[in-house]
Amino acid sequence: MDKFVIEGPARLSGEIHVQGSKNASLPMMAATVLSTGTCTLRNVPDIWDVDTLSRILKEVGMEVDRRDHTITVAASHPSKCVAPYDLVRKMRASFFLLGPLLASRGHATVSYPGGCVLGPRPVDIHIKGLRMLGADIKLEHGYVTAQADKLRGAEIYLGGPNGPTAGGTYNVMMAAALAEGTTVIDGASCEPEVEELANFLNAMGAKISGAGTHRIVIEGVPSLAGADYSVMPDRMDAATLIFAGAVTASPISVRGVVHRHLAAVADKLSTIGVRLEKLSDGYRVLPAEALSPADVTTQPYPGFQTDVQPILCSLLTLARGISIVTERIFEERFTHVSELARMGARIRMQGSSLIIEGVPELSGAPVMASDLRGGAALVVAALAAKGVTEVNRVYHVDRGYEALDQRLKKLGAKIARVEV
């Protein structure tokens, strides 16, 4: 188990490139199960979650070859249909295999998923959608078992209590790609990663329109072929790097950004006083002389992303005044709060909101990452803190960020990975 040792406050300089999208790569890897040919995905980040899903794909009879940032996947034993608990418990995204296995093989047994502890995230909407396509689904002994001789298109509403579900949209869209007839998903997630998955499926021969809106239409096809596809940039990685520049008042350039994916982030940073200068393929951070407080509520895309909320909190701890951050997506996404308090932040919880009173500076302290984005928030805070911060359990960070320590070091950060 590793930890990061970070000496601050840092002054960063130079430019840094965004990794390939974690949240797009994982469902696209799951979608390769639908193919009768060979699929090649490029610009895939070298992260733990990709490692885990590669192992699960092998368990369900796929040949997986990884070289640099390219993954090639082809079916070798298409009769295997079980995604085991020991692997699925490590990562919620492995549940995305339920729809593809069901559609391509008529049967799927997938362990109930794990991943970051962010409060209740039931998979009932996934199951509801697949049942409406004709699947018989049972929950037994911690596994979800689904079977269907033939899936048939249907009109399905996927809205949930906290808004659209990206995971449910992935699963139903992938299954519907091979269903007989036309499927209409209303209340679909508009996340860019949903649109990216649809583009990949269409490259394989699917007929999907409307992805990126709340209404997606899928005309089922008999089979899907292989495809060669380059994964889009990771908008969460981009936001994290931008916040690293903002919190350290460093004019760094972040390259490989899709501007529209970060519209809400750029708007909120402008309110705080941090401007982003548009580059042809990214942003240059123009630091604020002083940070202003802000009121922020997380929302489904294109609203302010829940994944960025913990990292935003690190910045707002240094704003002059009181900020209010309200979490509307994951009710328990506050594991970073007690750790930031150890660094001198003044934060109190009030229901689903955080009241943040800015302080002049943070101080280094031993802290512990409890989830992916919360861990990234602690790294960002440590860059600004005076003294040495030890961020423990950085395997959470490694789940979604490729060599974050090495990339920050190239910008001038004093950060070391230490084996515990």
Q: What is the CA radius of gyration of the chain?
A: 21
Distance CA 327, CA 313 (A): 11
- Locate tokens 């995204």: which residue? 93
Q: How many CA atoms lie within 13 A of 151 on its CB side?
A: 37
The two tokens of residue 202 are 């269409």
Q: Is residue 39 within 8 Å of residue 74, measured between CB atoms?
A: yes
Distance CA 294, CA 350 (A): 16
- Phi, then psi, of 334 in degrees rounded to 5: -135, 25
- Please give the helix or strand (H or E) that residue 284 lies within, else none: strand 282-286
Strand partners, 159: 164
- Per residue in 80-105, pLDDT tens? 777 777 777 767 778 899 999 999 99
Distance CA 143, CA 270 (A): 46
What single string gives the DSSP state of each residue in 322-337? EEEEE-SS-TT--THH
Give the chain's domains with CATH numbers.
Answer: 2-18+233-419 (3.65.10.10), 22-230 (3.65.10.10)
Q: What is the pLDDT of residue 121?
A: 47
Q: Is residue 332 within 8 Å of residue 298, measured between CB atoms?
A: no
3-state secondary structure of 4: strand
Q: Is residue 376 within 8 Å of residue 307, measured between CB atoms?
A: no
Q: Is 240 left (phi over 0), alpha (psi -120 to 50) or beta?
A: alpha
Q: Is residue 151 within 8 Å of residue 133, measured between CB atoms?
A: yes
For β-strands 387-392 and 2-8, DSSP reports them as: antiparallel
Whether the bond between 192 and the residue before it is cis, its omega within 30 degrees of 0, is: no
- Round the average pLDDT of the chain to a whole number and report it: 94
Distance CA 176, CA 220 (A): 6
Catalytic annotation on 116? yes
Catalytic residue among 39, 81, 116, 190: 116
Classify residue 304 by its DSSP letter.
Answer: B
Residue-by-residue pLDDT tens, the chain, 420 positions: 899 999 999 999 999 999 999 999 999 999 999 999 999 999 999 999 999 999 999 999 999 999 999 999 998 877 777 777 777 776 777 889 999 999 999 999 988 775 444 444 468 899 999 999 999 999 888 888 999 999 999 999 998 877 789 999 999 999 999 999 999 999 999 999 999 999 999 999 999 999 999 999 999 999 999 999 999 999 999 999 999 999 999 999 999 999 999 999 999 999 999 999 999 999 999 999 899 999 999 999 999 999 999 999 999 999 999 999 999 987 778 999 999 999 999 999 999 999 999 999 999 999 999 999 999 999 999 999 999 999 999 999 999 999 999 999 999 999 999 998
